[in-house]
Amino acid sequence: MKNGASAGNVDKYYIDPISHYRFRSKNEVVHFLTYGSKPKRKKTNIDVDKEPLGSSSEQQSGEEEMIEEMISKGLQVNAVHRICELGLVGKFPPVPLLKAFLKNERKAAISIFEDPNNADRAANLVAHTERSALRCVIQCIARWKLEAEFPPENLKK
C-alpha cells in the first residue's frame, strides 16, 4: 500500500510484445525501436568527468559499429537514416539496405500468410505489413533525396 503524494497513482508502462521489455516513457520506446536495445542509464557528472574523451575517428568507428548492429538486427531503414545523417553513404550505400528491408518484410508477410493460426486475418495482415514497409521506404527515399538511385514510382504501384 502506497503512502504519501503518489498514493493511488497508477504508473503507465509500454510493453514490447516480443521481448516483453517494459518502458516507462515514449522516449524509451523510440530508443528501443531505433537502436534495438533499452536505453543505457544516464551518466552523472562524476561519470562524465571520469570518462576520457575519444577522438573523432573513435567516435566514427563507434557509429559504424552501431550502424552494422542495426543492419544485423533488421533495422535497415533506421540504419539508412543514421548513415545519411552522418554522411557515411560511401561506406554504407543506402539503396541496397532499403531493398534488403523490403525483401525481409516480404518474407515476413509471406510467413504470416502461410501461418495456419492467422488464417482469418492473414490477407489483411499481409497487406498492412507490406503497405507499412513501402510507406516507410518511400518516406526515407524522399527525406534523403534518393529518388535518382531508387525511384519511388515503382514502389507506389
Decide if 7 is inside a domain. no
Supply the pLDDT for residue 63: 85
Decide if 50 is inside a domain. no
Question: Residues for the chain: how many in total?
Answer: 157
Percent above pLDDT 70 for the chain: 76
Contacts of 94 by beta carbon, 8 Å cutoff, 6+ apart: 80, 83, 84, 140, 144, 146, 149
Asked whether the predicted pLDDT for residue 123 surpasses 80, the reply is: no
Tell me the angle at which helices 122-143 and 76-86 cross, rounded to the nearest 10 degrees: 10
Residue 59's domain spans which residues? 14-39+55-156
Supply the pLDDT for residue 24: 82
Closest CA to 30 of 91, 75, 72: 75
Decide if 93 is inside a domain. yes
The rounded mean pLDDT for the chain is: 79
Decide if 1 is inside a domain. no
CA 91 centroid distance within chain = 20
The mean per-residue pLDDT over the stretch 104-112 comes to 84
pTM recorded for the entire structure: 0.63
Decide if 8 is inside a domain. no
Cα 66-20-139 angle, rounded to 5 deg: 50
At 30-83, the pLDDT tens digits run: 777 766 677 776 655 544 444 444 456 666 778 888 899 889 988 899 899 989
The count of other CB atoms within 10 Å of the CB of residue 37 is 12
**Distances in whole angstroms, Cα of residue 133 to Cα of each of 70, 77, 116, 140:** 17, 9, 23, 11
Tell me the angle at which helices 122-143 and 94-114 cross, rounded to the nearest 10 degrees: 170
Decide if 46 is inside a domain. no
Between the two ends of the chain, the Cα-to-Cα distance in Å is: 58
Domain count, the chain: 1
Decide if 65 is inside a domain. yes
Decide if 66 is inside a domain. yes
